[in-house]
Structure 1
């Protein structure tokens, strides 16, 4: 018993001693304050940290709701009309006077697409191919109200058209900046595919500055293609609909799909909103597009042959090789020469033709742009004052020449001498939807020397004659390396 009490007593005294020593030691330690770094705690988070209620994922609910209200269903009607067919072995000139060819009636047609309201007072953007040739255009809003729309302007080069309905206080989509669109960015495609009601699909941006050649069939060398490529599902009927970002801003107008079947098969293409904004503003103000031209022929690594890549060293440069500078062009006035390599337009890097064409398409005739280029390995900067298709900086009114559907250029002095003529316009390209293609069998390389027996020296002469008030015009001219004068009759719509 005494042994047990001794053990307890020793344990008790040891505990008391330990407690006294610990209190004495702790009282000598200076407390270190805990400092919370506010900036660090805000930016550094665990991987599972969720600052948003949706867990950090992109939320499209607001964007889908807002954009759906401002995307419309467009329905078009085309009346029956006579169409004349001429034998491929006939002659246009004699057919006009001796009744060659056969006439038949094209049946009435109906089609549909989508459009985007861009202002509260009823301006709507859509694709040109949605309304091209239509006799009546109807717009059905998201609330099912239907309006007859007026076509304010259309442009085959960009495949854009601007409509107007008489209504106010409409929901509309604000323009975003398509230059800020990034690869991998989430986007929504909104439209009326396959005659369905408003449909929203999601995808990511797969590529930028795509040129797929789809506009060239209607506008030839004047085509402007710098598409945003996405994998959002787009089908027939989506044309003219909206491509929006997660904030509901308009970053593109859906225009085309890459498909072997005609329906969605993986990729769709949208016209960048910066181009849409400029083209629609032109149409609102002028009724047509005020297109600016730099006046260069070019080769980039995407459209060059293996021989050209090797000869010009295109695989060693980030830019566009200038292989031609047109006389009296903006580029010539700015000092650009054949062999120069264009690297920037308005301080925006350009590596391909579509990138350069997009930057120029954002300007009007008379605007000045900054051009950075390489010459003999050295970098230079110059300023070019852009011109219109007539070679000046005037506002171009609705042009009769554009209705011809052809790309024309004035001949150089040496070309005139070789052909033995004093003046003329070379037809370098013919679009499928123009008067020349629909009414004649004129071919590329035809040189227009006279119209209604009046000499043609320039594009200005051509426009003056076509604006004279007459309805029928006899085009006379020659084909290089062929004898004789050829004639084609064209009637203005």
Structure 2
């Protein structure tokens, strides 16, 4: 018996040693074989041994269940407008304000005998007792709002709240036990995942289309205030507090889809369809949806406060890229470069300063102004946030308590300095020695961007212009720009040099 046990042990040991030798030999052969593989063969080995760790919010590739569960919760929103709107602007109550939004009505020659104009859009039922998310531009200025349910019932709706800054609205119908669309998490959405767009496009009934998420945190400038250049009032330039951080998709969407649902294949709402980029006015491959996390916050504010409560960091900044990094004196090409902080604002109180580079918000990477706007847009005054900034080559964390929109008053005028600065509609960089020499100036800031419809745009001051003085004070950086704006409570006087070398002066009143 002992001899048999001993023999078994020797056999087992021999097998283990032999296996180890075989594995070692295989690994040597495998290494040699990989070195002789083609590029395609090497990629097969790599991807076989390195499965992706990326996860998304999407479910199965089969869309039938998601379409079946979501479609009953997406409704047709029908609006009626006063005849005076038709007489003043054709059958398009929005005029040119939402040129690229779905739901835009076709213009026609004003006719005093024409019936009241009507519009159409979509909406998403989010509670069983009749609360519906849609777009602000779908219901704005409507005298009558009707909701047509999937079971063909037609019910009157009232507006609970509207927000132009996000193009969101919450409306309510009197009903119970309604089908709802489950809210998802737009933070989990990944570029490349499948999505469905559900709504009532053109003159069609409920329609489902499929596509992928093409991009996130898109800014397209469609929510910025639009101005008639012939009637521009420099005394009262419109403020711009819009928040644009759209989910971009190639799912087919058209006019009438406004306010409809963008869902993942689990049937979860990830966005409210809002705009298209189109030269023809119909689908050309690009659609945009408001992230549902931002929409949830706005809707909650309507229900709790009757208005949107928005928190602010209190900084001006610009996105870093390869082109402007050197001019700003940094090697970083990602993040948000702080141009200035608002006196008395959350950032200034916490200790942020010019030259800091915002890298993360609450441990989430921030690479664009849109991504920061979206995150802050889901918060309220009094909320605490953590900003991670790069300062002097080191990461540093700052804890902020967000402020409301009361702003900081100018010393002698009661005018908010941030409002005056924002009305200019321009961002500035410091000048390097080469640029000073080129234009023959001793000081100044260069205009790096222009916002459509604001003062610089209205006076046709181009990008690349050098601003040498504001209100008689020479300026060299953003802090001096803000200080110079405080010098005069009634007028702003700009002097500088245009990109072609011509000197100019522009003076405009401040209300």
Interval of TM-score (by shorter of Structure 1 and Structure 2): 0.5 to 0.7
| 1:342 counterpart residue number | 358
1:297-308 equivalences under 5 Å are 297-301=316-320, 306=323, 308=324
Kept in 1, the 8 Å contact 2:325–2:333? The answer is: no
Kept in 1, the 8 Å contact 2:131–2:172? The answer is: yes
| 2:126 counterpart residue number | 118
For 2:181 and 2:300, the matched residues in 1 are separated by 15
| 2:187 counterpart residue number | 179
Offset at 1:270?
Answer: 0.6
For 1:246 and 1:157, the matched residues in 2 are separated by 29
For 1:84 and 1:185, the matched residues in 2 are separated by 44
| 1:94 counterpart residue number | none
For 2:509 and 2:340, the matched residues in 1 are separated by 30
Matching of residue 69 in structure 1 with residue 77 in structure 2? no
| 2:142 counterpart residue number | 134
The alpha-carbon distance between structure 1 residues 360 and 59, as it changes in their structure 2 partners (threshold 3 A), is same
Q: For residue 343 of structure 1, give the secondary structure of its aligned residue in structure 2.
A: strand
Offset at 1:318?
Answer: 2.6
The alpha-carbon distance between structure 1 residues 315 and 376, as it changes in their structure 2 partners (threshold 3 A), is closer
Q: For residue 195 of structure 1, give the secondary structure of its aligned residue in structure 2.
A: coil
For 1:84 and 1:203, the matched residues in 2 are separated by 39
Larger radius of gyration: 1
For 1:178 and 1:485, the matched residues in 2 are separated by 43
Matching of residue 210 in structure 1 with residue 243 in structure 2? no
CA RMSD across the alignment: 3.1
| 1:410 counterpart residue number | 409
For 2:202 and 2:421, the matched residues in 1 are separated by 38
1:223-302 equivalences under 5 Å are 223-301=242-320
Offset at 1:483?
Answer: 9.6
Matching of residue 147 in structure 1 with residue 166 in structure 2? no
For 1:310 and 1:386, the matched residues in 2 are separated by 31
Kept in 1, the 8 Å contact 2:319–2:334? The answer is: no
| 2:367 counterpart residue number | 351
Deviating beyond 6 angstroms after TM superposition, the runs of 4 or more aligned structure 1 residues are 82-85, 104-107, 482-487
For 1:137 and 1:353, the matched residues in 2 are separated by 35
| 2:53 counterpart residue number | none
Kept in 2, the 8 Å contact 1:183–1:207? The answer is: yes
The alpha-carbon distance between structure 1 residues 256 and 314, as it changes in their structure 2 partners (threshold 3 A), is farther
| 1:365 counterpart residue number | 381
| 2:51 counterpart residue number | none
The alpha-carbon distance between structure 1 residues 366 and 109, as it changes in their structure 2 partners (threshold 3 A), is same
Offset at 1:316?
Answer: 2.6
Offset at 1:429?
Answer: 6.2
Offset at 1:314?
Answer: 6.3
Offset at 1:301?
Answer: 3.2
For 2:383 and 2:112, the matched residues in 1 are separated by 47
The alpha-carbon distance between structure 1 residues 168 and 267, as it changes in their structure 2 partners (threshold 3 A), is same
For 1:230 and 1:485, the matched residues in 2 are separated by 43
Offset at 1:106?
Answer: 11
Offset at 1:486?
Answer: 9.1
Kept in 1, the 8 Å contact 2:338–2:356? The answer is: yes
For 2:508 and 2:261, the matched residues in 1 are separated by 52
Offset at 1:337?
Answer: 0.6
For 1:387 and 1:128, the matched residues in 2 are separated by 25
Matching of residue 157 in structure 1 with residue 160 in structure 2? no
Offset at 1:424?
Answer: 3.0
Offset at 1:315?
Answer: 6.3
The alpha-carbon distance between structure 1 residues 266 and 485, as it changes in their structure 2 partners (threshold 3 A), is closer
Which moved further from structure 2: 186-195 or 214-223? 214-223
Number of residue-to-residue matches in the alignment:
348
Offset at 1:230?
Answer: 0.7
| 1:81 counterpart residue number | 84
For 2:126 and 2:60, the matched residues in 1 are separated by 28
Q: For residue 316 of structure 1, give the secondary structure of its aligned residue in structure 2.
A: coil
| 2:56 counterpart residue number | none
For 2:83 and 2:71, the matched residues in 1 are separated by 34
| 1:480 counterpart residue number | 492
TM-score w.r.t. length of structure 1: 0.65
Matching of residue 169 in structure 1 with residue 177 in structure 2? yes
For 2:329 and 2:207, the matched residues in 1 are separated by 47
TM-score w.r.t. length of structure 2: 0.63
| 1:451 counterpart residue number | none
| 2:414 counterpart residue number | 423
In structure 1, stretches of 5+ residues that fail to align are 1-28, 33-44, 46-55, 86-103, 392-408, 417-421, 431-441, 446-476, 488-493
For 1:336 and 1:245, the matched residues in 2 are separated by 39
Offset at 1:480?
Answer: 2.9
